[in-house]
Each structure stands twice: as structure tokens, then as C-alpha cells.
Amino acid sequence: MKKNILNRPFPNLIFIFKNLSSRKEVDQDLFFFQTGREAFIYGLEKMGIRKGSKILLPAFICDSLAAFIISEGYKIRYVDINMDMSIDLYEIESIFQLENISAFLFVYFFGISFDIKPFLKLCNKYNVPLIEDCSHSFQTKILNNNIGTFGDFTIYSFRKILPTSDGGAIRFKKEINKSYKNKISFSLKNDLIYLIARLVEIFIRNVLNINIYSKKITNLKNKIRNLIPVNKIERQKLIKSKNKISFLLNIFLTNKNYLSENIKIRNDNFNFLLKEVKAMGLKPFITKIKKSTCPQFFIIKDDHGGLVDRLNSGGIGAIQWPGDELPKEIYEHPILYPNSIKLNKMLVYIPIHQNLNKESFKEMLILLSKWKLKIES
Ligand SMILES: Cc1ncc(COP(=O)(O)O)c(C=O)c1O
């Protein structure tokens, strides 16, 4: 079997060792957490938004965030998105007029450069804090500014783009008193165990020649996951930012060359797949991106159904999003949230991260052209 296309970047060991001594300090404006969801709750609390307040969220969202917000005592008001993943400004305005909304979460889905300015104006008019969600990608620029520089605060989940295990973070627009300096420290969980887990993944893929995305392995992974006792998030916990970040996060987040390569490779891979997929007659979801966009995935429309399974069985770490993690409140109300439900079923996300290049996609493109022939017959 051929090598799988991993769905997340791999922490290159040579790169890590080479850069161990040239590490830079992380941005002291950032407050760090293990996850982006913790950063979000911390931000609400620091803004003085009380538990029980209603937060406006796009309905196209994953339950790991939504359930956490609810478990922390906040209420969620969902709004459906448009079929291009944008949000209807007029609908937001009418919600602001009719309901008591304490904050609005603006998500840059998959790094797409949506125009936040009209929402910024609207939120100012109604005095609703605007939160930018750069969890899917943090390097996209709008009008020469990095996303994440407009709202009252911004949340990040660097682990979705960088090969690290921690990486929740928040940046406030106004200065917030911080009584400590962010420090880098070796973390057993986020450095050692993470690296071992990733090496095991590569061993299974390269040495044992096993497709880690096959149904069998996915079921096995789920079974193992279910055996691990989860911290049921029933009780509200005090969310504190951590002053220590892992070595790995520090290395990748502060290396300018790595980051500029990252945006270039993702952009090139996206444009390469765009050309190939169009030529095949398949339907890309986004048909153009700017050089200043750092996409998380390449997205294909699958009206037929079954493409993710087909790609997974061919060793490609493609996903659906949020997939099974679409909140119950959304999938139980198709009249209220038709677009989020449709997009959840229809879109297939293909990895284009920094470890991949044109060569990596060769076999996948053959698989896609066979798929196209099959659905036409
Ligand atoms: C849009 C969006 N925001 C925030 C989060 C939360 O990030 P984390 O998983 O780091 O808590 C997610 C996570 O899945 C997400 O998809």
C-alpha cells in the first residue's frame, strides 16, 4: 500500500533539533491555554460577560466548542450561514434588534478571508462585542492586516495548523493586565507524549504499511478513545491561562521562515488541486483564493455522497466537518439551519498542509478521476 496523506502536519525532527537553540520568545500579548475553547470562555469572563448571557454563534460549528460553552454556563443563539459560508449581515442586525445578545463569534471558516468590516460596524452600533475566531487558520490577511486584529478579542487553536498538541490562545484588543510572562517549558504531555504518538502514527503507516484512515483502524481508534475516561464537562471550571507553552509550539509559532513557507505551501497546494479538480469536472467549493489566504483544507462538493469514505479507504486523511460533531440543536432543526446541515453533508475536506506537495497528490488525483467516472456511470 502507498503512503497515506496524513490529515495533519508532522513535526519534522531535524527541523526541531536545528531550531532548538534559535527559539524566539512568543508574543507576550497572547494568553495561552491548552485549547481554543478555554481561550474563548476566558475571553468572555475577562470582558465581564456573565454566565447565563446569550452568545451568537454560526450554526455551522462543532459541538466540542458549543457543548463547552454551554457547560460553562452560557446560552447559545445559533444563526444559519449562507451556502458560501458567509453570514447574512441583515439577519444579524435583526437578531441584535430583537434579542439580548452579549457577544458575536465571527469564524473565518478554513482560513477563508471573509470581510469582517461590516460586522465590526454593526457590532459597534449595537454595542455587542465581536470575537474573531482564527482557530482554523491564523495567517490569512485581509487588507494587509492579519485576521485577528479587528475584534474585541481573538481566539486561536494553533494545533489545527501547526504540528503541536497545545495551542489555544487569546489576544485582546484592549490591554488586559497580565501578571506573568509567557515562558517556554518542556511538557511531558505536549512535547514528549505528543512526539511519541506521532512517531507511532508514522511507524504504523510507513513500516507496517497500514492505512490509518481505513474503517477498521478508525473503529479501533474510537474504541480505544471510549476506553479512556473522559472528563465529563458537567461542572463549570475556573479557566486560567497557562504561562508555559510547549517547546514544540514555541519552535513552530516563532519561526518566521516556517510560517511563511506554511502559507506559501498551503496556497500552492490549494491552487494546484483547484486546477486539477476543475479539469476533471469535479466541483471545488471555493474557486479562487488570494495569495494572502492561508487555507486549512482544499474543499470539494460531493453531491453524490461517499467520497470521504472512498478517499479514506485509499489512505487519504480527508474529513467531513463538523460531521458527527454538528450540535444536536442544529441537526434536529433543518427548517432553521438548512444550509449548515447541507454543507455538513456535502463538503469533503482534503489536507493541503505544509508536509504535502504536488507529488503527494498524484495517487489521490487518480482516485478522484476514477471516482468521477464511477458517479457518471
Ligand atoms: C471554529 C472553531 N472554533 C473554535 C474551536 C475550538 O478549538 P479547540 O479544539 O482548540 O478547543 C474549534 C474546534 O474544534 C472550531 O472548529
Q: Is 65 in the pocket of ligand 1 (CB under 6 A)?
A: yes
Distance from the alpha carbon of residue 43 to the mean position of ligand 1, in angstroms? 14
Q: What is the rounded distance in angstroms from the CA atom of residue 155 to the CA atom of residue 40?
A: 6
Q: What is the pLDDT of residue 255?
A: 95
Check residue 173 and give its pLDDT.
Answer: 94
Cell of residue 112, nine digits: 477563508
Delineate the domains of the chain, giving CATH numbers in brackets.
Answer: 27-180 (3.40.640.10), 256-376 (3.90.1150.10)
Residue 232's pLDDT is what? 54
pLDDT at 222: 85
Could you identify the atom of ligand 1 that is nearest to the CA of residue 160?
10
Q: Is 135 in the pocket of ligand 1 (CB under 6 A)?
A: yes
Mutate to test the pocket of ligand 1, among 60, 108, 114, 135 (most ligand atoms within 8 A of CB): 135
Per residue, the 3-state secondary structure of the chain, as one string, reads CCCCECCCCCCCHHHHHHHCCCCCCCCCCEEEECCHHHHHHHHHHHCCCCCCCEEEEECCCCHHHHHHHHHCCCEEEEECCCCCCCCCHHHHHHHHHHCCEEEEEEECHHHCCCCCHHHHHHHHHHCCCEEEECCCCCCCEECCEECCCCCCEEEEEHHHCCCCCCCEEEEECCCCCCCCCCEECCCHHHHHHHHHHHHHHHHHHHHCCCCCCCHHHHHHHHHHHHHCCCCCCCCCCCCCCECEECHHHHHHHCCHHHHHHHHHHHHHHHHHHHHHHHHHCCEECCCCCCCCCCCCEEEEECCCCCHHHHHHHCCECCECCCHHHCCHHHHCCCCCCHHHHHHHHHEEEEECCCCCCHHHHHHHHHHHHHHHHHHHC
Check if 64 has its Cβ closer than 6 Å to any atom of ligand 1. Answer: yes
pLDDT tens per residue across span 74-97: 999 999 999 999 999 999 999 999
What is the reported pLDDT for 175? Answer: 86
Whose CA is closest to atom 16 on ligand 1?
62
**Cα 319 to Cα 300: distance, rounded to the nearest angstrom:** 11
Pocket test residue of 42, 55, 56, 65 for ligand 1, highest count of atoms within 8 A of CB: 65
Q: Which residues of the chain have pLDDT under 70?
A: 1-2, 229-236
35 CB under 6 A from ligand 1? yes
Does 133 contact ligand 1 (Cβ within 6 A)?
yes
For ligand 1, say whether the CB of 62 is within 6 Å of any of its atoms.
Answer: yes
Is 293's C-beta closer than 6 angstroms to any atom of ligand 1?
Answer: no
The per-residue pLDDT for 235 is: 58
What is the pLDDT, as a whole number, of residue 231? 56
How far away, in angstroms, is 148 Cα from ligand 1 center? 15
